[in-house]
A and B are shown apart, each in its own frame.
Chain A
Amino acid sequence: MFKSRGGQAGPTRALLAVSFVVALILGSVPSISLAAQDAGEPQSGGRLIFALNGELTCFDPQISAGDSTNLVARSVLDSLIGQKADGTLVPWLAKSWEANEDVTQFTFELETGITFSDGTPFNADAVKFNLDRIANPETGSQYAISLLGPYESTTVVDEDTVQVNFSEGFSPFLQALSQPNLGMLSPTATAEGQPCGPVVGTGPYVFSEVNPSESVVLARNENYNSINPLAAHEGPGYVDEIEFRYIPDDAVRVGSLSSEQVNVAQVIPPKDVQGLTDAGFTLLSADRPGAPYQIFVNTESEQWSDVRVRQAFQKSLDITGIVETLYLGLYDRAWSPLSQPTVGFDASLIDSWPQDVDAANALLDEAGWEWNGDFREKDGQRLVARWQFISTGRDQRELIAQLVKEQASEVGIDVQIISVGIAEYLQAIQNGDYDLGEFSFVRSEPDILRNLFSSSNIPSPERIAQNYSHVNDPQVDAWLETAIGTLDQDVRNEAYAQVQQWAITNAVVVPVYVQTELTVVAPGTNGLTYDVQAFPLFYDVWLEQ
């Protein structure tokens, strides 16, 4: 999974190799690759300019679900728990934790002597303030609230001990705590601030300048006294300031980087990578955990309720070829509703469903679909797949759709691409007005499968949810329940493996590609790394002066 190009240092490579082996033993594959150029001792000072592809409309990750919001907030907020690149959970603001037998109660021992950048002490009261705030519907949390699941309450045991209570077992809570969305905000500053305004945390940087719709600047927190388990050093950060500049246009982002008007740019199109690395820039590539980009087949739609039709569609496609053609070997193809770097990914699915046009034709023959002209028909009805497709231009997905349409037509399936905006798309999904839908989501926790396949998450006009396949299967629900009610990683992995295999065997999804973050770094910028969800970490970054 290592795809770093440019000056890799010997010792770092050894370190990577070690962590890779450790990760393999632990049963997950790290998605990370470090840009540790051999440039000597870190130096303090300077302004790092990072080109973001998206704009920040909300600075509070407890409210917003935006990728950019999380990316920026990560340098400002610390979490109770950290998640290493290999998926293991390590102490951060919480020194230690334990859970009761049925995973409904978690008790955390907190680090002492840590203060928020506004001077407010970090303690048990602050933890309770944050979790209660997220769980309160008045806050308007768009995503964080769902990470709390069946949250009931937080009890302050003493100054440095909190107990978090759930109405049902909820093991994904620990990983959830490591996300910026459940990062710790200063109770004082949050109570005084505007909703969605710049947040105050215990992290190594603080918000210093907001230029709406243009940029946001973080300044070093000189009084930083927290510890960061994901970092290589202690004490204050190296660079004085980090400027996040919003540059939505790909070509302009690439040009700004190549002319070194910015130090780092994210979401670099695969076609531009070669040119930049040839010019001495360093590529940082990381595969995102969670739900890879995948096509969902609506099992409640009339023609597609037949498993043979779904399997035929799945087998008609040469996903490997599509992904290699479009992404020049920089993205991996997906094999499961979980992407490869996700904890709990079932590696037995790799290579388990190659393209097989003969088998696809046989399945459709057996199901009674007969050729009539260019497509197949049954009872005078053509075999049609209405694909609700979001036209964002992102990752050249339009071309995926075209190639899928072409390949499916070879076995007689008429894929009709309905290209719409996001608002219209979501409405069609809620109305159930589709045969194929699409979705991807980043989270380093297999519980994301519950969002995709639990019968309680079927979208309807009254319910916003992501079980786009309309899977309603007691066995699947049971596996998901088992996994959520235990911290035993073997039991969880086994249950999640069952769900993944079920999803592929029943062809309710066709996973396409693993979302990959391609970030390119200009010469002279060192120490940039990714966290487990492929968001860059800035605390160790330093600039050659």
Chain B
Amino acid sequence: MLAFLIRRLLAGIFVLIGATALSFFIIRVIPGDAVTTLLGGTPTTPEVEAKLREQFHLDQPIFVQYGLYMQDLIQGDLGTSMRSHEPVSTTIKDRLPSTMKLTGLAVALALAGGTTLGIFGSLLPRGPLERLLSLFQFGMVSMPSFWLGLILLTIFSFHYGWFPATGDRGWKSLVLPACTLAIPSGAVIAQLLRDGMNQVLKEQYITTARAKGLRELTVRQRHALRNALIPVITVAGVTVGSLLTGSVVIETVFARPGIGKLAVDSIVNKDLPVVQGIVLLAATVYLVTNLIADILYAAIDPRIR
């Protein structure tokens, strides 16, 4: 198990270096220049342009820029935002808690709701009710999140006034965005679990278990659920990562400060140091969640150990 972890960690470091290098070069190669984007919309002077290029090393060859970036990065310095003149680490630190709260609650809701619905669905006999549930889940999966968000807002904030529409103050402001984020993911998990359960329940070892005279509940919980959960964990792992970056739309609709919105704004405005900081963060999050998923597989399925 330890060797397995060390192997995973080492691979992770290479993935991180690769991700930062890739994002560093890609954002510089795609059309559009950072300083031009910052200054282009207003009358300005050539001196300011030259000064900014120098400050962010953009007057240097690209490989020299990368060297300087890595030099700073190793010392823990992520650089300074071109738009806000704020250290990137501060910018990210300010936005991260909001996104973490949102993602944390959304994942919890999606897992709890998704598993419940999935198990419930697998218990239903074939028939109209089962098909209705399936249709409902399908609808939830396919609903664009900005639309879902607007519907929830219109009903629960604008009409009934139960929850604030925007911002990040207190648990109340968390409910609607977390639900918006959780509903599609929860529906995916529910579908996966139900299909998984239906699949597993046809296996011969389930028949064996039943034949041994085990109670149906024990058969389902001990034998079927464990196996059906494996794909769910994989998806949940990926979901955490994608919720972090996929929170863009939610953060825009609900006007929440967060990493997703910061990422998009920084990419559009070519705020290079911030983009690189976020890529590094996102890569780390993916690595960690995948690692946790790997450990969970091992815990649930002895064959993987």
> Which chain B residues border A105 with CB–CB below 8 Å?
none
Residues facing A in B14-41 (CB within 8 A) are 30-41
Question: Is there an interface contact between A213 and B164, defined as CB atoms closer than 8 Å?
Answer: no
- Complex formed: what's the CA distance from A422 to B159 in Å? 37
Question: Is there an interface contact between B51 and A140, defined as CB atoms closer than 8 Å?
Answer: yes
Question: Is there an interface contact between B37 and A422, defined as CB atoms closer than 8 Å?
Answer: yes
> Which chain B residues border A63 with CB–CB below 8 Å?
85
Say whether A427 faces chain B, with CB atoms less than 8 Å apart. yes
> Which chain B residues border A420 with CB–CB below 8 Å?
31
Q: Which of B70-78, B111-119, B192-200, B262-270 makes up part of the contact surface?
A: B262-270
Question: Is there an interface contact between A255 and B157, defined as CB atoms closer than 8 Å?
Answer: yes
Say whether A342 faces chain B, with CB atoms less than 8 Å apart. no
Q: Which of B134-142, B239-247, B250-258 makes up part of the contact surface?
A: B250-258
Say whether A247 faces chain B, with CB atoms less than 8 Å apart. yes
Contact residues on A (Cβ < 8 Å of other chain), bracket: 35 or more
Say whether A463 faces chain B, with CB atoms less than 8 Å apart. yes
- Complex formed: what's the CA distance from A137 to B35 in Å? 14
Question: Is there an interface contact between B85 and A255, defined as CB atoms closer than 8 Å?
Answer: no
Say whether B161 faces chain A, with CB atoms less than 8 Å apart. yes
Say whether A374 faces chain B, with CB atoms less than 8 Å apart. no
Say whether A423 faces chain B, with CB atoms less than 8 Å apart. yes
Contact of A137 among B51, B83, B252, B256 (CB under 8 A): B51
B44, B95, B257 pick with most chain A CB within 10 angstroms: B44
- Complex formed: what's the CA distance from A430 to B39 in Å? 12
Encode B81-120 as 1/0 by CB contact (under 8 A) with A: 1011110000100110000000000000000000000000
Encode A133-150 as 1/0 by CB contact (under 8 A) with B: 000011011110111000
- Complex formed: what's the CA distance from A472 to B45 in Å? 19
Question: Is there an interface contact between A252 and B150, defined as CB atoms closer than 8 Å?
Answer: yes
Say whether A403 faces chain B, with CB atoms less than 8 Å apart. no
Say whether B204 faces chain A, with CB atoms less than 8 Å apart. no
Say whether A215 faces chain B, with CB atoms less than 8 Å apart. yes
Question: Is there an interface contact between B51 and A138, defined as CB atoms closer than 8 Å?
Answer: yes
Contact of B265 among A55, A252, A441 (CB under 8 A): A55
Residues facing B in A414-444 (CB within 8 A) are 420-424, 426-430, 441
Question: Is there an interface contact between B48 and A451, defined as CB atoms closer than 8 Å?
Answer: no
Task: Name the distance in Å between B287's Cβ and chain A's nearest Cβ.
Answer: 26
Residues facing B in A464-487 (CB within 8 A) are 464-466
Q: Which of A4-12, A256-264, A347-355 makes up part of the contact surface?
A: A256-264
Question: Is there an interface contact between A421 and B268, defined as CB atoms closer than 8 Å?
Answer: yes
Question: Is there an interface contact between A422 and B268, defined as CB atoms closer than 8 Å?
Answer: yes
- Complex formed: what's the CA distance from A265 to B36 in Å? 31
> Which chain A residues border B40 with CB–CB below 8 Å?
422, 426, 429-430, 464
Task: Name the distance in Å between B39's Cβ and chain A's nearest Cβ.
Answer: 5
Closest to A431 in B: B31
Question: Is there an interface contact between A213 and B95, defined as CB atoms closer than 8 Å?
Answer: yes
- Complex formed: what's the CA distance from A143 to B48 in Å? 9
> Which chain B residues border A138 with CB–CB below 8 Å?
51
Question: Is there an interface contact between A259 and B165, defined as CB atoms closer than 8 Å?
Answer: yes
Contact of A421 among B32, B38, B94, B258 (CB under 8 A): B32
Say whether B302 faces chain A, with CB atoms less than 8 Å apart. no
Question: Is there an interface contact between B42 and A441, defined as CB atoms closer than 8 Å?
Answer: yes
Say whether A196 faces chain B, with CB atoms less than 8 Å apart. yes
> Which chain B residues border A423 with CB–CB below 8 Å?
31-34, 36-37, 268-270
Say whether B130 faces chain A, with CB atoms less than 8 Å apart. no
Say whether A249 faces chain B, with CB atoms less than 8 Å apart. yes
Say whether A38 faces chain B, with CB atoms less than 8 Å apart. no
Say whether A245 faces chain B, with CB atoms less than 8 Å apart. yes
- Complex formed: what's the CA distance from A459 to B151 in Å? 45
Contact of A194 among B31, B86, B167 (CB under 8 A): B86
Question: Is there an interface contact between A215 and B44, defined as CB atoms closer than 8 Å?
Answer: no
- Complex formed: what's the CA distance from A322 to B253 in Å? 30
- Complex formed: what's the CA distance from A368 to B32 in Å? 37
- Complex formed: what's the CA distance from A142 to B41 in Å? 10
The 8 A-B pairs at the shortest CB distance, nearest first, are namely A423-B32, A213-B257, A426-B40, A146-B43, A196-B85, A195-B85, A255-B158, A65-B42
List 15 A-B pairs, Cβ < 8 Å.
Answer: A58-B84, A140-B55, A142-B42, A194-B85, A211-B168, A214-B167, A214-B256, A247-B165, A249-B253, A249-B255, A252-B166, A256-B166, A422-B41, A423-B268, A465-B43
Give residues in B with beta carbon < 8 Å to A.
Answer: 30-52, 55, 81, 83-86, 91, 94-95, 146, 150, 153-154, 157-159, 161, 164-168, 252-258, 261-262, 265, 268-270
Give residues in A with beta carbon < 8 Å to B.
Answer: 55, 57-58, 63, 65, 137-138, 140-143, 145-147, 194-196, 211-215, 245-249, 251-252, 255-256, 258-259, 261, 420-424, 426-430, 441, 451, 457, 462-466
Given contacts A211-B167, A213-B258, A423-B34, 15 further A-B contacts (CB under 8 A): A140-B48, A140-B51, A140-B85, A142-B48, A196-B86, A213-B95, A214-B255, A247-B165, A251-B150, A252-B253, A255-B165, A259-B157, A261-B161, A430-B36, A464-B39
